[in-house]
């Protein structure tokens, strides 16, 4: 399979997207269409200051504060204008966005970063281990760096943060946790949100997916990748969110929760058990990948020998 097509389908497979045999030759533009990555979606408030302004398949989060706003994740390159329109549709001004954050720097989550930085004039804030990837436009990615369709407009990072640092704007504070593996600097963000008299811990979780093509044991994709994943699962398992959100809409059942929110309000998004089950399932997938890669290879001759017995 051509490397471009191989890399194209891997990013979606990593999030459990329903791919079929015919997708093996689908370029990323076709894949994005199938998975609704660039399809407009109705923006909405989730809880407190957290608003969804993403597309049908990818999430972008507008977090409003008393001193301007924060935007987390910017979708594919064509999605910048869609996100801008969604912010305005909710009654906010893109020009009031002061900080641009990301969970990880793959094209489907930072593709619109350059556009939105230009529109908003906001500062780009990133974990130290992700800075090079963002500023290279994806060219330093350990798995997709040489694939043109996975590259994006390079963006200068204005503020470099580290694992455990807090980012505060107005009355909102987010804590950045390094949950590396999927990329070297994948970041999970944690904040508190208030709805009426109730307070909720909100986690924007990321970093668990092991894409086909990643090497964890033999000739690892980068030194320490398996340890990074294990640290990620340890970090995520220690969190106890009331509400959890991910860069893709599928893992946390966005569509189903959105439908329930029409009648149940914020309670539709409260799902601590779903979070625990997701982390556990992702950890098992990781360990299965390690086990498969660690298994001794059986040569064709050995297979024929076994079959002949």
Q: What is the pLDDT of residues 149-166, one digit of tens each?
A: 899 999 999 999 999 999
Q: What is the pTM of this model?
A: 0.89
Q: With 70 as the cut, is the pLDDT of residue 308 above it?
A: no
Looking at the domain assignment, is residue 307 inside a domain? no
Rg (CA), the chain: 20
Domain that holds residue 73: 3-8+35-294
Instruction: Give the per-residue pLDDT at 17.
Output: 40
As a whole number, mean pLDDT of residues 189-208 equals: 97
Instruction: Give the per-residue pLDDT at 11.
Output: 47
Looking at the domain assignment, is residue 13 inside a domain? no
Gap between the Cα atoms of 154 and 110, Å rounded = 10
As a whole number, mean pLDDT of residues 197-201 equals: 97
pLDDT higher for 12 or 288? Answer: 288
Instruction: Give the per-residue pLDDT at 13.
Output: 39
Phi, psi of 118 (to 5 degrees): -65, -40
Gap between the Cα atoms of 201 and 197, Å rounded = 14
pLDDT higher for 15 or 114? Answer: 114
The domain total for the chain is 1
Looking at the domain assignment, is residue 299 inside a domain? no
Q: Are 210 and 181 in contact (CB under 8 A)?
A: yes
Gap between the Cα atoms of 180 and 220, Å rounded = 14
Unique residue bearing structure tokens 């970093």 = 207
Instruction: Give the per-residue pLDDT at 137.
Output: 98
Looking at the domain assignment, is residue 253 inside a domain? yes
Phi, psi of 259 (to 5 degrees): -65, -40
Check which CATH number belongs to the domain holding 107 and give it: 3.60.15.10
Gap between the Cα atoms of 68 and 44, Å rounded = 18
Instruction: Give the per-residue pLDDT at 37.
Output: 87
As a whole number, mean pLDDT of residues 207-232 equals: 96
Shortest CA distance to 50 belongs to which of 162, 177, 192?
A: 192
Looking at the domain assignment, is residue 15 inside a domain? no
Angle between helices 80-89 and 113-120 (to 10 degrees): 50
As a whole number, mean pLDDT of residues 193-219 equals: 96
Looking at the domain assignment, is residue 282 inside a domain? yes
Instruction: Give the per-residue pLDDT at 151.
Output: 95
Instruction: Give the per-residue pLDDT at 9.
Output: 45
Quick one: pLDDT band at residue 212, thresholds 50, 70, 90?
Answer: confident
**Beta-sheet pairing, 159-161 with 166-169:** unpaired
Quick one: pLDDT band at residue 2, thresholds 50, 70, 90?
Answer: very low
As a whole number, mean pLDDT of residues 293-308 equals: 64
How is the chain classified by DSSP, letter by letter?
A: --HHHHHHHHHHHTTT----GGGGG--HHHHHHHTTTTSB---EEEETTEEE--BSSB--EEEEEBTEEEEE---SGGGHHHHHHHHHHTT--GGGEEEEE-S--SHHHHTTHHHHHHHH-PEEEEEGGGHHHHHTTTTT-TTTTT-GGG-------SEEE-TT-EEEETTEEEEEEE--SSSTT-EEEEEEEEETTEEEEEEE-------TT--SSSS-SSTTHHHHHHHHHHHHHH---SEEE-SBSTTTTHHHHHHHHHHHGGGGGB-HHHHHHHHHHHHHHHHHHHHHHHSPP--HHHHHHHHH-
Looking at the domain assignment, is residue 272 inside a domain? yes
pLDDT tens readout for residues 25-59: 345 666 666 678 889 999 999 999 999 999 999 99
pLDDT higher for 40 or 15? Answer: 40
Instruction: Give the per-residue pLDDT at 25.
Output: 36
As a whole number, mean pLDDT of residues 248-253 equals: 96
Q: What is the mean pLDDT of the chain?
A: 89
Instruction: Give the per-residue pLDDT at 1.
Output: 37
Instruction: Give the per-residue pLDDT at 20.
Output: 31
pLDDT tens readout for residues 50-100: 999 999 999 999 999 999 999 999 999 999 999 999 999 999 999 999 999
Share of the chain above pLDDT 90, in %: 82
Looking at the domain assignment, is residue 66 inside a domain? yes
Q: In what order do the strands lie in the sheet with 44-47?
A: 44-47, 50-52, 61-65, 68-72, 97-101, 123-127, 159-161
Quick one: pLDDT band at residue 116, thresholds 50, 70, 90?
Answer: very high
Question: b/e string for 70-101 if b means 16 or more Cβ within 10 A?
Answer: bbbbbbbbebbebbbebbeebebebebbbbbb
């Amino acid at each position: 399979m051509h490397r471009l097509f191989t890399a194209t389908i891997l990013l979606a497979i990593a999030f459990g997207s329903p791919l079929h045999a015919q997708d093996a030759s689908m370029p990323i533009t076709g894949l994005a269409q199938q998975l609704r990555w660039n399809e407009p979606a109705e923006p909405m408030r989730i809880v407190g200051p957290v608003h969804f302004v993403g597309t049908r398949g990818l999430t972008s989060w507008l977090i409003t504060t008393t001193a301007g706003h924060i935007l987390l994740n910017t979708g594919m390159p064509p999605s910048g204008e869609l996100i801008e329109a969604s912010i305005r549709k909710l009654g906010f001004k893109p020009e009031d966005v002061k900080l641009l954050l990301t969970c990880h720097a793959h094209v489907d989550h930072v593709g619109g970063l350059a556009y939105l930085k230009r529109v908003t004039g906001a500062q780009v804030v990133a974990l130290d281990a992700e800075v090079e990837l963002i500023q290279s436009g994806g060219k330093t990615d350990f798995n997709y760096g040489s694939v043109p369709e996975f590259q994006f407009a390079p963006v200068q990072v204005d503020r470099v943060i580290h694992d455990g640092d807090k980012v505060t704007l107005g009355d909102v504070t987010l804590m950045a946790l390094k949950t590396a593996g999927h990329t070297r600097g994948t970041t999970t963000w944690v904040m508190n949100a208030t709805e009426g008299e109730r307070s909720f811990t909100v986690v924007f979780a990321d970093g668990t997916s092991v894409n086909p093509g990643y090497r964890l044991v033999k000739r690892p994709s980068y030194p320490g990748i398996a340890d990074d994943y294990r640290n990620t699962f340890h970090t995520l398992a220690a969190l106890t969110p009331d509400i959890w959100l991910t860069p893709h809409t599928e893992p946390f059942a966005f569509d189903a929760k959105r439908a329930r929110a029409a009648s149940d309000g914020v309670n539709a998004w409260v799902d601590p058990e779903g979070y625990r089950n997701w982390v556990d399932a992702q950890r098992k997938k990781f360990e299965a990948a390690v086990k498969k890669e660690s298994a001794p290879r059986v040569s064709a001759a050995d297979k024929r020998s076994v079959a002949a017995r």
